[in-house]
Structure 1
Amino acid sequence: MQLTDYEHGVVPLDQRKNWFSIAAVWVAIGIDLSGAFLGIELAAGMDFGSALAATMLGSLLLGLLAMCTAYVGASSGLSAAMISRAVFGKAGGAILALAISISLVGWFSVQAGFFGVNAQSAFSALTGFDIPVQVFVAVGGVLMVLTAFWGYRSINRLSALAVPLLLILLVVGVIVAFVTRGTDGLTAEVTPLFTFGGAVSLVMGIFILGVVLAPDMARWAKTPRQAMAAGFVGFFFGNSIILVVALLLARVLDQTDLMAMFFAISLGGAAVIVLILAQWTTNTTNVYSAGLAFSSISPKFRRRTVTAVLGAIGVLLGVLGAVDYFVPFILLIGTIIAPFGGVYLASFLAERRAARWAPGAAVARVESWAIAAWALGILAAFATTNPLDGPGFGWFTLTTISALDGLLVSFVAYLVLFGVRRMLSQNRTVTPDAPATEVAA
């Protein structure tokens, strides 16, 4: 089997994939247990109409942003970590690659925890035996790391198997729930726990890291246009499907445990198999991208070795209970990582023909202007986050969606700083014979 994933270079044309297969990977990533958990949380803390609207708006924004970030990945041929090197410089890119790796390992551990909790629930319902959740977390985490070890091709094959089964299960589950329980639960009153903007931020936060890291998959597309199509379909549908299904099932069945919902409508056995596949495809990609990011720090780091080490750390964190910090963690990811997407989008827009965007090109040690734009985006995201929704100050509001605020502010900040830098550079340029010419005149 081909083991290289071209982590330090460009994917050859004969290895590129069509848009549908790449979109399938992103749909498979989006249909996961963390999305189901968030859907259940929104169902318990918002009226159904508002929760549904927040889900669709957040997913639409993700799809549009993914079109942009996928275009950068497919056009440049670079992974997100190599893009960070081009934008932030060698040292700055290494710092960001480290931040991305840490975020992804943390997200991997949270997802492994979701897998363990639901696998334990299913196993107990099927057999009557109560095995510690840590066993399921460890076993599931190891399987996910093994798939990531083999690289994108294995992820692609797993997604091709999982997506049709996932869609069938979800559609059948909703139909059976409506037929057996009716729709009265959709109009039941709940105590409001989320603002609309906070809910949209959560919907985006659960997949915003995937949008920023879209180049990792988009660089496998045959053309930038195909990458954009895959990005929109993969992120809009991938993010919204599981959230909407979880919203519907939680309201109709009045349950807060996903596996219990499927067992309640006699689909427990099928759900066990299919949801295991769902979490497998999602979490494999987390540790895969973590390996790509960390290996970009130095050519001496091999992706497979790094993936194995980071995967082991993620499994350990999952066993120790990282899942308990789910909501704060996704909000923190959106606050810190989303502005990076704004910076590299602006950089590519302003300087796409610059030599540093070429694979393997020499770059400056640190691009302080880019780092400043990233910092401003992070500050904006914290400043616009309502303390009731997550870590933040609530000083003012922009779009009411803090993750999007950070990305937009960093995008604008980079373009402004780029203009200032270019103006200062032009002012420092003085032709040697200019003073002599003035004297002669």
Structure 2
Amino acid sequence: MAQAADNGNDYPLSEVPAGARKGLFSTSIMLFGFTFFTATMFAGGKIGMAFDFKTLIWAALIGNLLLGAYAAVLGLIACRSGLNSVLMGRFCFGEVGSKLSDMLLGFTQVGWYAWGTATMALALVKILGLPEGWTIPLMVLFGFGFCITAFVGYRGLDLLSRVAVPAMCVFLVWSLWLATGKVGGLDALLAIQPQESMSMNLAITMIFGTFVSGATQATNWTRFARNGRVAMLSSMVGFFFGNGLMIVTGAYGAIVYQQPDVVEVLVLQGLSMIAVMMLFLNLWTTQDNTIYNFAAAGCNLLRSERRKLITVVGAGIGTLLAIGGMYEMLIPFLILLGSIIPPIGGVIMADYFYGHKQRYPRLADVRLPKFNAVGLAAYFIGAFCAYVSPWVAPIVGILVGALAYVVLFQLRQLATRSAGTSRA
């Protein structure tokens, strides 16, 4: 087992052993780098165009606190069990049924990878004034280049985050300082009125939905945490502070410059080269994590330990989607994610805390059914309710999925006992 980890295999089909666990700094900076994502700043920019600064801060606090709490609970389960979400899916959805969650989670991650790849190529052509014909070759270059650290494994992701996160923090502080000077100080910022409109529910859905897929699969790293405290604290660092910083930064620039695109803001500030460096580091620290998530889902789907090969295949699929126009579909993609992904986490939490009484058996020691009808039905109920809900769809999906699992699990227990009594 230890040898598999040293080779960057990272236990794709089994529990992470005690000897491979990591401390708070390693896990936190990994998740912090993961949540440093241009799409999150873009979503923050859209929200910033629709709210005054005080209301924006409330939306960011609520949305990211909920996201951080969701990631922290899943992180605790991952740490205790040593399993990631796709492996936990075997317990709540069944050996074959778990392939549903593998495909859903894999699809969302390769979709994000495509968006990030297209964003980098298009922005570079625009900022540097390159010929349009360079766009597709750059997509291919970044599509495969971004996956290098994911190919290496946890060690590659960790090393990149340790270098990129401090650099990006410096760039962000610089940009915010220039924006504050441009608008005339905080008092002037607070006086700016929004030019567009958006409901608070939609704002929270966008904040939560932007990274709910990532939070659901952050178990790929929190399962390496040394203990439950490390897993939960690092989740909050990444998804409350990291994601929150991205939302507020994007919104800040949008309020001052009336421009939701953070790269455009940096260009307006006269920081074209900083914009290129920021975008490159920002996307790379998320892209490699994203394609790593895809590989984890792919390994479980195919029951294969060839994580590195699946990483490269995923990069190829993402590159093709980028060339096909994924860049234009961000907002519809976010809304879709807010409906179909959160119920997976809700069912996993209910299955662990209620169905398994906070203890999974070792995967190698248990024979699981092909389909877990309770878990699958609970997922579809949660996803449907999230899709039609006028309220915050991701929260509805999590709560309804978890509640449906508990109710259906209890009904199955009653039916089993009743059948046993009848036979007696």
TM-score category (smaller protein): over 0.9
Residue identity opposite 1:379 in structure 2: F
Residues of 2 paired with 1:375 and 1:22: CA distance? Answer: 32
Aligned equivalents of 1:138, 1:338: Cα separation in 2: 31
* Correspondence for 2:172 among 151, 170, 173: 170
Partner of 1:160: 162
Q: Which deviations, in whole Å up to 9, do the C-alpha atoms of 1:272-304 show, x marking residues without a partner?
A: 213211100101111111111111123345211
Residue type of the alignment partner of 2:407: V
- Greater shift in the superposed pair: 218-227 or 246-255: 246-255
* Selected match of 1:312 from 303, 312, 316: 316
From 252, 255, 274, the equivalent of 2:256 is 252
Secondary structure of 1:174 counterpart: helix
Amino acid of the structure 1 residue aligned with 2:392:
I
CA-to-partner distance for each residue in 1:110-139, whole Å, 9 max, x for gaps?
Answer: 122222232223323xxx766643333322
Of stretches 152-161 and 95-104 in structure 1, the one that deviates more from structure 2 is: 95-104
Cα distance in 2 for partners of 1:84, 1:337 equals: 13
| Residue number in structure 2 paired with 1:430 | 421
What residue is the counterpart of 2:3 in the other structure? none
Please give the residue correspondences for 1:36-51 in structure 2 after superposition, counting only pairs within 5 Å.
36-51=41-56
1:162 deviation in Å?
Answer: 0.9
Is this contact kept in 2: 1:162–1:274, CA < 8 A? no
Amino acid at match of 2:227: T
- Code of the residue aligned with 1:89 in structure 2: it is G
Residue 336 of structure 1 pairs with residue 340 of structure 2: yes
**Residues 13 and 304 in structure 2, CA contact (< 8 A), matched pair in contact too:** no
Range moving further from structure 2, 253-262 or 319-328: 253-262
Alignment match, 1:84? 89
- Bigger shift: 250-259 or 53-62? 250-259
Q: CA contact under 8 A between 2:194 and 2:255: conserved in structure 1?
A: no
Letter in 2 for 1:133: T
User: Is the CA contact (8 Å cut-off) linking 2:81 and 2:360 kept in structure 1?
Assistant: no
- Structure 2 unaligned runs (5+)? 1-5
400, 410, 424: which one aligns with 1:409: 400
Shift, 1:258, TM fit: 2.2
2:46 and 2:303 map into 1 onto residues whose CA distance is 43
| Partner amino acid, structure 1, of 2:399 | L
Match of 2:230 in 1: 226
Q: Deviations over 1:219-260 (max 9, x none)?
A: 111112211111111110111111111111222233344223
Residues 149, 307 of structure 1: 8 Å contact kept:
yes
User: How many residues are treated as equivalent by the alignment?
Assistant: 416
Q: d(CA) in 2 for partners of 1:264 and 1:96?
A: 42
Match of 2:194 in 1: 190
Q: How far 1:194 moved relative to its partner?
A: 1.6
Structure 2 counterpart of 1:24, which letter? I
Structure with max Cα Rg: 1
Higher mean C-alpha displacement, 233-242 vs 129-138: 129-138
Corresponding position: 1:326 with 2:330? yes
Q: Which residue of 2 aligns with 1:149?
A: 151
Deviation at 1:36, TM superposition (A): 1.6
Q: Structure 1 residues 403, 137: CA separation in 2 closer, same or farther (over 3 Å shift)? A: same
Determine the C-alpha separation between the residues in 2 that align with 1:62 and 1:189: 28
User: Residue in 2 aligned with 1:346?
Assistant: 350
Equivalent of 1:24 in 22, 29, 47 = 29
User: Cα gap change, 1:354/1:231 in structure 2, threshold over 3 Å: closer, same or farther?
Assistant: closer
* Alpha-carbon offset, residue 202 of structure 1: 0.4
Cα deviation per residue 1:323-380 (whole Å; 9 max; x = unaligned)?
Answer: 1000110111120111010000000001335886423332101000111100110111
> Is 270-279 or 304-313 further displaced after alignment?
270-279
Displacement, 1:182? 1.6
In 2, the alpha carbon distance for the partners of 1:325 and 1:298 equals 28
Structure 1 residues 130 and 106 mapped into 2: Cα distance closer, same or farther (>3 Å)?
closer
Question: Residue 78 of structure 2 contacts residue 219 of structure 2 at CA under 8 Å; is this kept in 1?
Answer: yes
Q: Deviations over 1:63-104 (max 9, x none)?
A: 111110001111111121111112100110012212211121
Tell me by how many angstroms 1:265 deviates: 2.6
Name the aligned partner's letter for residue 17 of structure 1: K
Say whether residues 1:286 and 2:290 are aligned partners: yes
Identity of aligned residues (%): 27
Match of 2:412 in 1: 421
Q: 1:233 to 1:355 in 2, by over 3 A?
A: closer
Residues of 2 paired with 1:131 and 1:265: CA distance?
Answer: 27
C-alpha distance in 2 between matches for 1:212 and 1:24 = 18
Divergent runs of 4+, >6 A: none
In structure 2, the CA distance between the partners of 1:333 and 1:257, relative to structure 1 (3 Å rule), is: closer
- 2:102, 2:300 within 8 Å by CA — same for their partners in 1? yes
1:215 to 211, 219, 233: 219
SS of the equivalent of 1:275 reads helix
- Tell me if the contact between 1:185 and 1:254 (Cα under 8 Å) persists in the aligned partners: no
Query: Which residue of the partner structure matches residue 72 of structure 2?
Result: 67
Distance 1:144 1:198 in 2: 31
CA distance 1:43–1:135, change in 2 (3 Å)? farther
CA RMSD of aligned residues (A): 2.0
Find 1:384's aligned residue among 385, 389, 400. Answer: 389
Q: Deviations over 1:156-202 (max 9, x none)?
A: 11111111111111112111221244243553333443210011000
Distance in 2 (alpha carbons) for counterparts of 1:418 and 1:407: 16
Match of 1:204 in 2: 208
Distance 1:99 1:81 in 2: 10
What secondary structure sits across from 2:7 in the alignment?
A: coil
Alpha-carbon contact 1:182-1:252 (below 8 Å) kept: no
Which region of structure 1 is more displaced relative to structure 2, 229-238 or 266-275?
A: 266-275
**Structure 2: which amino acid aligns with 1:168?**
V
Instruction: Tell me, yes or no, if the aligned pair for 2:352 and 2:360 is still in contact at 8 Å.
Output: no
Q: TM-score, normalised by structure 2?
A: 0.93
The amino acid across from 1:76 in the alignment is S
Would the alpha carbon gap of residues 209 and 256 (structure 1) be closer, same or farther in structure 2, given more than 3 Å must change? closer
CA contact (8 A) 1:85 1:363 kept: yes
**TM-score where L is the length of structure 1:** 0.89
Q: Tell me, what secondary structure is at the counterpart of 1:90? A: coil
